[in-house]
Structure 1
Amino acid sequence: MTTANYDAMSLDELRQYVLAHREDIIAFQAYVDRSKAAGRMISIDLNDNNWEETLTEQIRQSTSVESESE
């Protein structure tokens, strides 16, 4: 069995790999960890009464950061 080198992949390449190899749990965890570190993961607190506004703001910030990096 061939082992993929997740560290050598860009985050987008790793995402594509995970989508093509959904059974590879280690790759998925690597993707989640790197996405969090890159600030790509968005989370919400359902106990926050303003969670919808917070989520909208996080999405806006995320998309502006991604467009700046292109």
Structure 2
Amino acid sequence: MSLINYAAMTDQELRHYFLTHREDTAAFQAYLARRRERSQPVITTIHDADFDSKIQAAIQRQMAEYEGGSTG
């Protein structure tokens, strides 16, 4: 059996591969690792007393990152 290069696969290809090769736990772990890398942190919950201020702070951080990253 040859080694599979999961890194060379697109997300869609990797997902399809592990769904058709369910015994390949390494493929599943590679897919989960990719998902974890791209996950976004939870800013707040709807019942949080500081919901508005946390959302506004997150928006301000994103705007600052965007403005800091644009060189045009």
Question: Under a length normalisation based on structure 2, what TM-score does the superposition of the two structures give?
Answer: 0.51
Q: Which runs of 5+ in 2 are unaligned?
A: 48-72
Partner of 2:23: 23
Q: Do the aligned residues in 2 keep the contact of 1:15 with 1:31 (CA within 8 Å)?
A: yes
Partner of 1:3: 3
Aligned counterparts, 1:1-70, within 5 A: 1-39=1-39
Which structure exhibits the higher relative contact order, with contacts defined as CA atoms closer than 8 Å and separated by 6 or more residues? 1
Query: Share of identical aligned residues, percent?
Result: 48
Give the total of aligned pairs. 42
- Root-mean-square deviation over aligned CA pairs: 2.0
Q: Which runs of 5+ in 1 are unaligned?
A: 41-47, 51-70
Structure index of larger Rg = 2
Once the two structures are superposed, residues 34-53 of structure 1 have per-residue CA deviations (whole angstroms, 9 ceiling, x without a partner) of 0111228xxxxxxx9x6xxx
Question: Under a length normalisation based on structure 1, what TM-score does the superposition of the two structures give?
Answer: 0.53
